[in-house]
Amino acid sequence: MSYTRALALLTSGLLWSATAEPVSAATPASPPLLVSEERVLMGTQVIVKAVGEDRKRLDAAVNAAFDEVSRLERLMSNFMPDTELSRINQQAGVSPVVVSRELLWVIKRSLFFSELSSGAFDISFASVGKLWNFRNGVVPDPDAVKTQLPFVNYRKIRLNDEHSSVFLPTPEMEIGLGGIGKGYAMDRAMAVLNEHGIRNAMVMAGGDTLIRGKNGDDLWRVGLRDPDKAEGILAVLPLEDQAISTSGDYERFFIKDGVRYHHILDTKTGYPAARCRSVTILAPDAITSDALSTAVFVLGPERGLALVERLDDVEAIIFDHNDTIHLSSGLAGLGLGATTTTQRTPQP
């Protein structure tokens, strides 16, 4: 699937159907079966769609994919007190915690993206994030943020490969996988579908989507949301064998004293990142697209695009704080000239 074709639909302003129907209007003579289910897991709505010929196999595969996401929630959630991740936080400043090789790998992968983004992505953001209450609209005391900010430092996380352990050296530290966990869960859910013989599927969780194969003879479609409209979709992207993740300031936010606060925190300030409205990343796998959408959001359009341009098979669509659209070079081949940005049409 070429990024040029995807961008052609983006700039044309075609609207997306939330049912992710095929791009083509033509209906095959003998269409394959499409099984689609939704469940609430990992704090969001998870959707699994699988295409095939055998209904029993499809049902079994979809159920197994949901079971895998549920298993990972019980491993990686920092809201459940008995998960491996929660035990790491509970033992901060006390002792290392032996964890599964799987969680150790996810944390290692998180630290890789931290290095790649110069700390814009940092799972120790939770050291400050725990001060915020987006459900009740609570802004933390500035002195508390200032006190906690030095503990947002991924370099302080100590891993021991030999013992498969993780240690946070001070009790003030906390880690959270909210910026990468759902992406990993999408990759694993798709792997389970493949193990059941399913080659054409879509898995979605919040702002993360992973696609493999096609929906019958046609491509799957994913919508690009309008940051200014709760139900607005700016464009449709027809995709195949692609992960796509969006981080936006509209996902979780509150307004207090006329100021809008959203949940994507700048790891340098402890307050919501202010350079972007939304960032969409296209990548080969969902753990990459998930982590990079957060990292680029925090970095802002200039530094974020510079990071994306260094990576193979990764593209970005960025809405900055002025609602200007910035496109990475792989998406800029549609008569936009030498620039990788184009001004978005103002909404009425």
| 209 and 272 housed in the same domain | yes
Establish if 244 belongs to a structural domain.
yes
Last residue in a domain, options 167, 191, 215: 167
Last residue in a domain, options 105, 135, 167: 167
| 138 and 202 housed in the same domain | no
Residue 226: predicted pLDDT: 82
Taking only the tens place, the pLDDT of each residue in 116-125 is 999 999 999 9
Establish if 173 belongs to a structural domain.
no
Structure tokens at 82: 């008995």
| 247 and 105 housed in the same domain | no
| 192 and 217 housed in the same domain | yes
Integer angstrom CA distances of residue 164 from 154, 167, 329: 18, 10, 40
Taking only the tens place, the pLDDT of each residue in 166-191 is 999 999 999 999 999 999 999 999 99
Residue 30: predicted pLDDT: 66
Structural domain containing residue 123: 84-167
Establish if 124 belongs to a structural domain.
yes
Based on the structure, what is the number of domains in the chain? 2
Q: What is the CA radius of gyration of the chain?
A: 20
Last residue in a domain, options 138, 167, 196: 167
Residue 6 has pLDDT above 70, yes or no: no
> What is the share, in percent, of the chain residues with pLDDT greater than 70?
86
Structure tokens at 24: 């083509």
Establish if 318 belongs to a structural domain.
yes
Establish if 172 belongs to a structural domain.
no
d(CA 120, CA 214): 34
d(CA 305, CA 303): 6
| 200 and 309 housed in the same domain | yes
Taking only the tens place, the pLDDT of each residue in 220-238 is 999 888 887 767 788 888 9
Round the average pLDDT of the chain to a whole number and report it: 88
Residue 345 has pLDDT above 80, yes or no: no
| 62 and 211 housed in the same domain | yes
Q: Which residues pair with 256 in a beta bridge?
A: 259
Establish if 11 belongs to a structural domain.
yes
If one counts every other C-beta atom within 10 angstroms of the C-beta of residue 169, the result is 14
Establish if 348 belongs to a structural domain.
no
| 334 and 231 housed in the same domain | yes
Residues near 316 by beta carbon (within 8 Å), at least 6 away in sequence: 279, 280, 281, 282, 292, 296, 304, 305, 308, 326, 327, 328, 331
CATH number of the domain that residue 156 is part of: 1.10.3980.10
CATH number of the domain that residue 264 is part of: 3.10.520.10
| 336 and 233 housed in the same domain | yes
Residue 52 has pLDDT above 80, yes or no: yes
In the sheet that holds 324-327, the strands lie side by side as 33-41, 44-52, 200-205, 208-212, 242-248, 276-283, 315-320, 324-327, 341-343
Integer angstrom CA distances of residue 11 from 19, 332, 336, 343, 345: 21, 11, 10, 11, 10
Establish if 174 belongs to a structural domain.
no
| 98 and 144 housed in the same domain | yes
The pTM of the full predicted model, rounded to 2 decimals, is 0.88
| 158 and 40 housed in the same domain | no
| 215 and 150 housed in the same domain | no
| 140 and 57 housed in the same domain | no
More confident residue, 344 or 213: 213
